[in-house]
């Protein structure tokens, strides 16, 4: 059996040559390019809502009990299922003689039809309407936006979505 022994020849240690200056130049150029071309995405669309006004305060804020042009206030209560979909929608006019609220089932189209009828009635009477949406905490955001949008399209500019307390409804 033949065994060949090769002797390794040693080579000189070679230092790698890394040109740092061109790499720094290029990295700063890339950084400048990305900073100048960056365009942040627009924020979420804004929903026009009106917050409830605080009555009282100074003499200017004292409500006049004889004032008859106060807006008609409608309260829409939306109850959600455990999955976040609409279970039931009810409509009630605040301060009306009818204490029973109108059941609009869980259908948004019925709600939309009713709001358009109310808006038309208010327009004929030359009155202003105020709409408060009492939403169940588990209601999905898609439905909240849809209900607010229907209210705005119907012509209610004074619209306030509020969260329902955790009660059994």
In a domain, 121, yes or no: yes
How confident is residue 135, by pLDDT bands cut at 50, 70 and 90?
Answer: confident
Distance CA 120, CA 156 (A): 11
Region 151-157: what's the mean pLDDT? 84
The answer to whether residue 125 sits within a structural domain is: yes
| Strand ranges (E), the chain | 72-80, 86-93, 102-103, 129-135, 158-163
Enclosing domain of residue 109: 76-83+95-163
> CA separation (Å) from 4 to 8, 9, 10, 11, 15?
12, 15, 18, 21, 32
The residue with greater pLDDT, 138 or 29, is: 29
For residue 73, what are the contacts with CB-CB under 8 A and spacing of at least 6?
93, 94, 95, 129, 130, 132
The upper half-sphere exposure of residue 39, i.e. CA atoms within 13 Å in the direction of its Cβ, equals: 2
In this predicted structure, what is the pLDDT of residue 119?
86
Cβ-based burial of 95 (10 A; exposed 0-12, middle 13-18, buried ≥19): exposed
Residue 109 lies in a domain: yes
Is 158 part of any domain? yes
Span 80-127, pLDDT tens digits: 888 888 888 888 887 665 566 777 777 888 888 888 888 888 888 888
pLDDT digits over 31-81, tens only? Answer: 999 999 998 776 666 666 666 666 655 555 555 555 556 677 888 888 888
The stretch 19-26 carries a mean pLDDT of 92
104: in domain: yes
**pTM listed for this prediction:** 0.55
Question: Do the domain assignments include residue 26?
Answer: no
Instruction: Please report whether residue 155 resides in a domain.
Output: yes
Is residue 136 a part of any domain in this protein? yes
For residue 169, pLDDT beyond 50: no
The number of domains in the chain is: 1
């Amino acid at each position: 059996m033949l065994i060949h022994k090769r002797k390794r020849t040693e080579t000189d240690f070679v230092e790698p040559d890394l040109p740092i200056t061109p790499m720094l130049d290029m990295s700063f150029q890339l950084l400048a390019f990305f900073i100048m071309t960056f365009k942040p995405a627009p924020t979420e669309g804004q929903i026009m809502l009106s917050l409830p006004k605080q009555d009282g305060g100074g003499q200017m804020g004292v409500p006049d009990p004889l004032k008859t042009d106060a807006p008609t206030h409608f309260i829409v209560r939306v109850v959600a299922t455990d999955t976040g979909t609409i279970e039931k929608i009810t409509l009630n006019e605040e301060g009306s003689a009818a204490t029973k609220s109108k059941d609009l089932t869980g259908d948004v189209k019925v709600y939309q039809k009713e709001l358009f009828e109310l808006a038309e009635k208010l327009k004929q009477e030359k009155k202003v309407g105020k709409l408060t949406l009492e939403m169940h905490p588990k209601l999905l955001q898609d439905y909240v936006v849809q209900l607010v949008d229907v209210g705005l399209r119907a012509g209610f500019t004074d619209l306030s979505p509020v969260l329902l307390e955790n009660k059994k409804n």
